[in-house]
């Protein structure tokens, strides 16, 4: 430091200046360290001011940090709010999509290559009886014990590049379930499995096949009979006139049966399609209609005790042809399916706002196991007897449909050995000022 040029010790002033310089140097170093330290922390904080709380500081740096904190805080709050809004919006979109997928009329699952379910909707749970919460080790094969389904999964797994489709039937109560399955490869090693309920279409197919089989059978019997008689007439030209006429009479009866069947089939088909079209109802005098039915069936009632109680002016809104069909089928059934001498009571009464129609007989009655089926197409309790009376087996199906078009149902009450009662109720309408024919 300061030395005098003589080489002797420092003078007092020299030593003083030296000391001052050292102190100043130390002070500067301290100041440098202080600022260096806080500048470093400041830089770190600036890198991500949002994530870090500003470092604690003393002196001027405290002011610097406070100033920056204030500057940023407004911006941070705004950013945080926007971020929260975006997150909420995303969450709502996900929930909305989940709702849409859950509401789809199909079961849907996302399954990985090991058969573990990554995601599923409500209908998938319902169709396959899956638990809402799945265990870590659960796979489709352990959860669904169904051979056809396992085979489908194996095929889908083997054909990962293509869409796999197949049909399986699940024996569910009360009605079996038929599912149309589609497995679509989806992302890496995962598949989207869609199950669509086709039970109704399947049932319709079965019904259609059964219907075609029934109609064929119904037509085959009379045609075979007619063919048989024709062959006999051809092979025996010298047949006596009485036998010939007898055969011709039988053939005519069979021909009539076929015509009746076709007429009933056409009526039923019209009634079944009617619900899809616009129907125009008119005011109908039910009293007049029932009396007409009774007059038209009088010739069949010679061996029965037929009584009728028909109230006057019973008016309803409806379709004349269909109601005639329904009521005449019920009266003819009572005449055709009961023994000679049976008492049959036909009644039409007004009760408050309703027209009550009833056909009650004291015939053999119907066994309870048949009662639930007799309105089905071609269902007959006694097949031989019904065919003999010319019945097509479609009568009560026609009644049921015709009444349904009028918003009414057919109530059947029958006891074996006591008799049967077929009844229905229709809503009354005001009597029109001028009576329709």
Rule CB under 6 A: which residues touch ligand ADP? 329, 333-334, 337-338, 361, 363, 366, 374, 379-382, 386, 391-397, 420
Decide whether 334 or 408 has the Cβ nearer to ligand ADP: 334
Q: What is the DSSP string of 189-245?
A: TEEEEEEEE-HHHHHHHHHHHHHHHHHHHHHHHHHHHHHHHHHHHHH-TT--HHHHH
Decide whether 316 or 397 has the Cβ nearer to ligand ADP: 397
CA distance 404 to 326: 11
Decide whether 191 or 338 has the Cβ nearer to ligand ADP: 338
CA distance 373 to 389: 20
Least separation in angstroms between residue 305's CB and ligand ADP is: 14
Q: Are 61 and 38 in contact (CB under 8 A)?
A: yes
Instruction: To the nearest 10°, report the CA torsion of 414, 419, 424, 429.
Output: -160
Decide whether 338 or 425 has the Cβ nearer to ligand ADP: 338
Decide whether 271 or 334 has the Cβ nearer to ligand ADP: 334
Strand order in the sheet with 177-186: 117-120, 106-112, 190-197, 177-186, 164-170
Decide whether 180 or 379 has the Cβ nearer to ligand ADP: 379
Q: How deeply is 40 buried, as exposed, middle or buried, from its count of CB atoms within 10 A (0-12, 13-18, 19+)?
A: exposed
Decide whether 45 or 327 has the Cβ nearer to ligand ADP: 327
Least separation in angstroms between residue 260's CB and ligand ADP is: 9
Least separation in angstroms between residue 385's CB and ligand ADP is: 7
Least separation in angstroms between residue 408's CB and ligand ADP is: 17
Least separation in angstroms between residue 366's CB and ligand ADP is: 5
What is the distance of C-alpha 148 from the center of its chain?
23
Structure tokens at 422: 């077929």
Least separation in angstroms between residue 306's CB and ligand ADP is: 13
Element (H, E) at 432: none
Report phi then psi at 227, rounded to 5. -60, -40
Element (H, E) at 340: none
Least separation in angstroms between residue 293's CB and ligand ADP is: 15
């Amino acid at each position: 430091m300061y030395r005098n040029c003589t080489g002797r010790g420092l003078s007092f002033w020299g030593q003083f200046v030296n000391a001052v310089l050292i102190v100043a140097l130390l002070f500067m170093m301290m100041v440098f360290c202080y600022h260096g330290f806080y500048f470093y922390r400041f830089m770190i904080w600036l890198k991500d001011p949002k994530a870090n709380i500003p470092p604690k500081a003393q002196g001027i740096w405290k002011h610097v940090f406070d100033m920056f904190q204030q500057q940023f805080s407004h911006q941070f709050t705004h950013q945080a709010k926007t971020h929260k809004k975006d997150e909420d919006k995303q969450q709502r979109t996900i929930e909305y999509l989940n709702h849409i997928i859950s509401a789809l009329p199909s079961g849907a699952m996302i399954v990985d290559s090991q058969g573990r379910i990554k995601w599923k909707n409500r209908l998938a749970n319902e169709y396959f009886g899956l638990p809402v919460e799945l265990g870590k080790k659960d796979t489709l094969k352990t959860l669904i014990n169904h051979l056809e389904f396992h085979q489908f999964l194996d095929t889908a797994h083997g054909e990962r590049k293509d869409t796999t489709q197949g049909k399986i039937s699940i024996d569910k109560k009360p009605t079996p379930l038929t599912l149309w399955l589609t497995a679509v490869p989806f992302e890496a090693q995962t598949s989207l499995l869609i199950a669509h309920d086709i039970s109704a279409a399947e049932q319709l197919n079965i019904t259609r096949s059964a219907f075609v089989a029934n109609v064929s059978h119904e037509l085959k019997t009379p045609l075979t009979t007619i063919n048989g008689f024709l062959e006999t007439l051809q092979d025996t030209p010298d047949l006596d006139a009485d036998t010939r006429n007898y055969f011709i009479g039988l053939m005519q009866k069979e021909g009539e049966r076929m015509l009746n069947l076709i007429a009933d089939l056409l009526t039923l088909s019209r009634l079944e399609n009617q619900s899809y079209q616009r129907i125009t109802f008119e005011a109908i005098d039910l009293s007049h209609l029932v009396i007409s039915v009774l007059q038209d069936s009088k010739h069949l009632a010679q061996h029965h005790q037929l009584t009728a109680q028909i109230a006057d002016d019973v008016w309803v809104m409806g379709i004349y042809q269909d109601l005639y069909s329904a009521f005449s089928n019920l009266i003819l059934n009572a005449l055709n399916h009961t023994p000679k001498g049976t008492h049959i009571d036909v009644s039409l009464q007004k009760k408050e706002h309703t027209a009550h129609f009833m056909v009650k007989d004291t015939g053999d009655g119907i066994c309870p196991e048949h009662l639930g089926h007799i309105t089905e197409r071609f269902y007959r309790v006694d097949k031989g007897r019904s065919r003999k009376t010319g019945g097509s087996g479609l009568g009560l199906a026609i009644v049921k449909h015709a009444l349904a078009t009028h918003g009414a149902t057919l109530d059947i009450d029958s006891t074996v050995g006591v008799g049967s009662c077929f009844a229905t109720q229709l809503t009354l309408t005001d009597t029109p000022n001028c009576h329709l024919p």
